[in-house]
Amino acid sequence: MPLSFKINQKSNYIYCRYIGKINDEELFNSWKAFYESDAWVPGMNELSDLTEGDASEITAEGIKHIARYARSIHEKHNIHFVKIALVAPETLNYGLSRMYAGLTSGSAENVRVFKSKFEADAWLRGIIEE
């Protein structure tokens, strides 16, 4: 599977790692399976690392679909605020991440896009503010 999830116990957030080519269906199905699993902790902050991911097959419609789905999950679980850090040093992944951030405006998700995992981790832990 091109997305893997684990709980970063030390920093208390969900870590999602994107690996290889990812398309709309894989993106949606991976997040849906995670949100429906026992591993997901509702309201826990998230760091998505796209450093090793190739998002060239993800479309604007796919980004919109996952943003709508995440919003519905947060509403269903009565989550009003969660920090989402997206690490995307490569241009295409960065642009798609910024698109996602724009689509989540007004939702429970406070999304920030970073070029480095160090900065994303520091923001999630409250060490730095953006």
How far is residue 80 CA from its own chain's centroid? 16
Q: The CATH number of the domain where 14 resides is what?
A: 3.30.750.24
pLDDT in tens, 45-73: 999 999 999 999 999 999 999 999 999 99
**Is there a domain that residue 58 lies in?**
yes
**Is there a domain that residue 45 lies in?**
yes
DSSP state of 106: T
Domain span at residue 55 reads: 3-124
Let me know: does 33 contact 27? Beta carbons within 8 Å.
no
**Is there a domain that residue 105 lies in?**
yes
pLDDT in tens, 7-36: 988 888 999 999 999 999 999 999 999 999
**Is there a domain that residue 129 lies in?**
no
pLDDT in tens, 73-113: 999 999 999 999 999 999 999 999 999 999 999 999 999 99
* pTM for this model (two decimals): 0.94
Overall number of domains in the chain:
1
**Is there a domain that residue 88 lies in?**
yes
